[in-house]
Amino acid sequence: DENVENTLMPYAIEGVVFSYAKIADLAVHAETKDGEHQNMLLYKLPGGDKTTALMNCLDLTSEDAYKTDRGDLYFTSDTLIDALSDHLNTAESQTKNALEAFIRQNGTSMPETDGTGHTSAAELEQGLYLFVETQVPETISNTTAPFLLSLPMTSIDGMNWNYDVTVYPKNERTAPTLEKTLRESKADTGKNDGTDSITDGYALLQRAHRYHIPTETKAFSAS
Confidence band, pLDDT 50/70/90 cuts, at residue 218 = very low
* Residue 189 reports pLDDT greater than 50: yes
So where are the chain's domains?
2-173, 182-222
* Residue 201 reports pLDDT greater than 60: no
* Residue 204 reports pLDDT greater than 50: no
Q: Encode pLDDT of 34-62 as tens digits.
A: 778 888 899 999 999 999 999 999 999 99
* Contact predicate 117/92, CB 8 Å: no
Q: Encode pLDDT of 118-129 as tens digits.
A: 999 999 999 999
* Residue 205 reports pLDDT greater than 70: no
pLDDT of residue 223: 36
CATH classification code of 2-173: 2.60.40
- Percent of the chain at pLDDT > 70 equals 78
Name which of 177, 103, 105, 178 is nearest 144 in CA terms.
Answer: 103
Q: Is the pTM of this model over 0.85?
A: no
Confidence band, pLDDT 50/70/90 cuts, at residue 140 = confident
Q: CA-to-CA distance for 162 and 155, rounded, in angstroms?
A: 6
206-218 mean pLDDT:
46
Question: Backbone phi, then psi, for 95, in 5-degree steps?
Answer: -65, -45
Based on the number of CB atoms within 10 Å of its own CB, is 193 exposed (0-12), middle (13-18) or buried (19 or more)?
exposed
Confidence band, pLDDT 50/70/90 cuts, at residue 154 = confident
